[in-house]
Amino acid sequence: MPLRFPGSGRTARDAVHHPLFARRYARFSTVAETRLGLAGVRERLLAELTGRVIEIGAGNGLNFAHYPGTVAEVVAIEPERLLRHRAREAALRAEVPVDVVPGCAEALPVKSEAFDAAVLSLVLCSVRDVPRALAEVRRVLRPGGEVRFFEHGAGGGPAMRLAQRLLDRTVWPALNGGCHLSRDPVAALCDAGFELGCCRPVRIPASGPVLPHSYCSLGSARRPAPAPDEPPGAR
Ligand SMILES: C[S@@+](CC[C@H](N)C(=O)[O-])C[C@H]1O[C@@H](n2cnc3c(N)ncnc32)[C@H](O)[C@@H]1O
């Protein structure tokens, strides 16, 4: 069960507040589902998931339609008010039970080891503190639990990487809800102690111009399970 704040529906102080970005994302992300092929990526991201799932930074809930029937319940954390509202609408149309909850990745409002899987899609670029967010994901996953991720990050040749870093230090985060282009989400998952499973590069859009946010990774990782002779909570 998510731990709710009093006066549910809002975080105590709305940890993330990007109303202009939220409106723009809600509009363009739905178009990108078909035009940029994101619906197909979401389908692959979530295929064969089972049990209780936590989705971090669910946005307007575009993943919800792609959860397979083997998922028992999704707790979807979304700090931005407008996107959370849209996510709640999407949850009503979903085929699996989805509970949309306010909160942010750096302090997930749920109990430890309560989930079989966690979903990170296009969110590590935006969280303020990636190591802290991933430590939280690790806390709420059961040992052996899986992370499914679809994230964009640093990529391309030296000129593109320089452009990504320059944009990160100037206009990009302010214009895009705190998004950063030059992070390395796969390295961050490894640094946080997850065991990397399959991971493949995905370019978005698959054809046409390469953009600073085209370099994506789609894959899975696991919270290590303790060895049989290890005490509980050792990993
Ligand atoms: C680019 S959108 C992606 C939304 C969704 N995951 C998707 O795949 O379409 C980034 C999302 O991260 C959320 N976000 C930003 N900072 C966050 C944080 N600290 N904790 C959790 N979510 C955050 C934003 O509110 C937004 O919904």
HSE of 90 in the Cβ direction (CA atoms, 13 Å)?
Answer: 22
- Rounded to the nearest angstrom, the distance between the alpha carbon of 226 and the centre of ligand 1 is 31
- Write down the domain spans for the chain: 19-222
Mean pLDDT of 102-125: 98
The hierarchical CATH code for the domain 19-222 is 3.40.50.150
Residue 178's nearest CA partner among 217, 215, 129 is 129
- Best residue for ligand 1 mutational test, from 11, 13, 16, 77 (most atoms within 8 Å of Cβ): 16
Q: Among residues of the chain, what percentage have pLDDT more than 70?
A: 92
Strand (E) positions, the chain? 51-56, 71-77, 98-101, 115-121, 141-152, 195-203, 215-222
- What pLDDT shows up at residue 29? 93
The response to whether residue 79 sits with its C-beta less than 6 Å from ligand 1 reads: yes
How much is the pTM? 0.93
Chain-wide mean pLDDT for the chain? 93
Phi and psi, residue 133, nearest 5°: -65, -40
pLDDT tens digits, residue range 192-206? 999 999 999 999 999
Q: What is the model's pLDDT at position 5?
A: 45
Cis amide leading into 131 (omega within 30)? no
Q: Return the best residue to mutate from 11, 123, 217 for the ligand 1 pocket (most ligand atoms within 8 A of CB).
A: 123
List pLDDT tens digits, range 148-189: 999 999 999 999 999 999 999 999 999 999 999 999 999 999
Spatial separation of the C-alpha atoms in residues 99 and 71, rounded to whole Å? 13
Q: For residue range 12-33, what is the model confidence (pLDDT) as tens digits? A: 467 888 999 999 999 999 989 9
pLDDT tens-digit series, residues 44-77: 999 999 999 999 999 999 999 999 999 999 999 9
